[in-house]
Amino acid sequence: MAAEPMAAAEPMAAFEPEIRARSSEPRPFWLALLLPIGIALIFIGTKTLNGTTAEIRVLLVLVGIVAAYLGLDAACQKRWGAGFDTSAWLSGIWLVMIGLSAITVSWLPLPESKLVKNSFGEGLRLRPDLFSRHPFGTNSQELDILGGVMWGARTSLIISLGAVAIGILIGGVIGIAAGYFRGSLDTGVGILADSLLAFPPLILLVAVATVFTQNQWTMALELSLLGIPTYIRLSRANTLTFAQREFVLAAKAMGSDNRRVIFRELMPNVALPLASYAFLVTAVLIVAEASLSFLGVGIQPPEPTWGNMIRGGFERFQDHPHIVFVPGIVMFMTVFALNRIGDKARERWDPRETQL
């Protein structure tokens, strides 16, 4: 009876080399022709179809982006082989661009994107024109959307990275202690983390946001309420994995006390898995911050954020979709890039992933 499952599995095992060979084949090179087609669709959707509805223009731009990516992926795989991960490289380049824009935005000679009193004469709701003074257009207050997106990147990164740092510091220490000492401490910490994770996150954030005056640092503290229980569970799970390794058992056998084992043996090894998940948690917190700003309980104008920029153009979406579409697509690409790089980091640094 035990031989039957093995016999049933043998035909599938015979096809495994063929499946792997097919998955390692590069995309057909003719797909590279989609790159100029996609660029043309993006240009048509943003520049020429002034009399059509917003849905058609947005759909054309989205189709153009997908076509351009498929064409670029085919060209890259033809040049560097089937193992080339175009999406990961593009994600890394995008995150570098977002980081540089957040750092340098205050030094760049951009048109006014914050104060309405300094934007008169710039033009009301100008459409995107990459070769003009306003490459991404202007909004309903004549403010430059490109500058607003760059200032919004700074705000989102400060808030989300600050919240992640707080989550790693507090949640990581609590999780390591719970996973190492176990017993009643582990039970109590587990109940606390599960309770925080079970509470609806948006309702929790809205309730906390209505109590405090909103700025970048208070929002980072509020969003850390989402990161702390996540990092408690992550650090606890990784501590349980490393606590059974030979170097920890050897340190205990040599007479090391608990503090030395935690800070010298466990914490440096748990830090890398936690850092790999920082990309994913940052992506979640960027969306959470934008949601609060969109609902009007987050960062308020004149400080631009991706959330309040989307909110400001939502009422005129049909006639001027770029006011919503530009910050929305920038936020989408940033969150996608963080998740993509986070997956790669998790595969490399998380010991539970490398064992699969």
Closest among 305, 335, 290, 318 to 145, alpha carbons compared: 305
- Which residue type is seen at 295? L
Pull the structure tokens for residue 225: 């309420």
Exposure string of 122-154, with b = 16+ CB inside 10 Å and e = fewer, is: beebbbbeeeeebebbbbebbbbbbbbbbbbbb
pLDDT digits (tens, 9 = 90+) for 34-64: 888 888 888 887 776 666 676 787 788 888 8
Classify residue 98: in a domain, yes or no: no
* Distances, alpha carbon 181 to alpha carbons 176, 214, 290, in Å: 8, 38, 38
pLDDT at 119 over 50: yes
Classify residue 58: in a domain, yes or no: yes
Residue 305, domain extent: 145-354
Length of the chain: 356
Concatenate the DSSP letters of all residues of 236-257 into one string: HHHHHHHTTSHHHHHHHHTT--
Classify residue 316: in a domain, yes or no: yes
How confident is the model at residue 316, as a pLDDT? 77
pLDDT digits (tens, 9 = 90+) for 213-241: 778 888 898 898 888 998 999 888 888 88
Spatial CB neighbours of 193, under 8 Å, sequence gap ≥ 6: 229, 232, 233
How confident is the model at residue 35, as a pLDDT? 84
Q: How confident is the model at residue 10 (pLDDT cuts 50, 70, 90)?
A: very low
Q: How confident is the model at residue 297 (pLDDT cuts 50, 70, 90)?
A: confident
Quote the DSSP letter at residue 138: B
How confident is the model at residue 356, as a pLDDT? 43
pLDDT digits (tens, 9 = 90+) for 123-153: 788 887 777 888 888 888 888 899 999 999 9
Percent of the chain with pLDDT over 70: 88
pLDDT at 29 over 80: no
How confident is the model at residue 19, as a pLDDT? 40
Same domain, 288 and 152: yes
pLDDT digits (tens, 9 = 90+) for 79-118: 787 778 888 899 999 999 999 999 999 898 888 888 887 7
Place of tokens 């089937």: 82
349 or 148: whose pLDDT is higher? Answer: 148
- The CA distance from 146 to 280, in Å, is 26
Same domain, 35 and 182: no
Classify residue 132: in a domain, yes or no: no
Percent of the chain with pLDDT over 90: 19
Same domain, 346 and 243: yes
For residue 181, the tally of other CB atoms under 10 A from its CB is: 14
Of the three residues 39, 59, 84, the one that is the final residue of a domain is: 84
* Distances, alpha carbon 267 to alpha carbons 235, 240, 263, 272, in Å: 9, 12, 5, 9
How confident is the model at residue 27, as a pLDDT? 67
- The CA distance from 148 to 76, in Å, is 33
Tally the domains of the chain.
Answer: 2
Classify residue 115: in a domain, yes or no: no
Of the three residues 35, 52, 84, the one that is the final residue of a domain is: 84
Classify residue 5: in a domain, yes or no: no
Q: In whole angstroms, what separates CA 106 from the centre of its chain? A: 23
Domain of 234, CATH number, reads 1.10.3720.10
Same domain, 180 and 301: yes
Classify residue 65: in a domain, yes or no: yes
**How would you class 28 by CB atoms within 10 Å of its CB: exposed for 0-12, middle for 13-18, buried for 19 or more?**
exposed
Contact 219, 166 (CB under 8 A): no
Of the three residues 84, 100, 121, the one that is the final residue of a domain is: 84
Q: How confident is the model at residue 314 (pLDDT cuts 50, 70, 90)?
A: confident
Classify residue 124: in a domain, yes or no: no
- The overall average pLDDT reported for the chain is 81
Quote the DSSP letter at residue 116: G
How confident is the model at residue 23, as a pLDDT? 46
- The CA distance from 8 to 38, in Å, is 46
**Phi, psi angle pair for 144, to nearest 5°:** -70, 125
Q: What is the pTM of this model?
A: 0.81
pLDDT digits (tens, 9 = 90+) for 159-200: 999 999 999 999 999 998 888 888 888 888 888 888 888 878
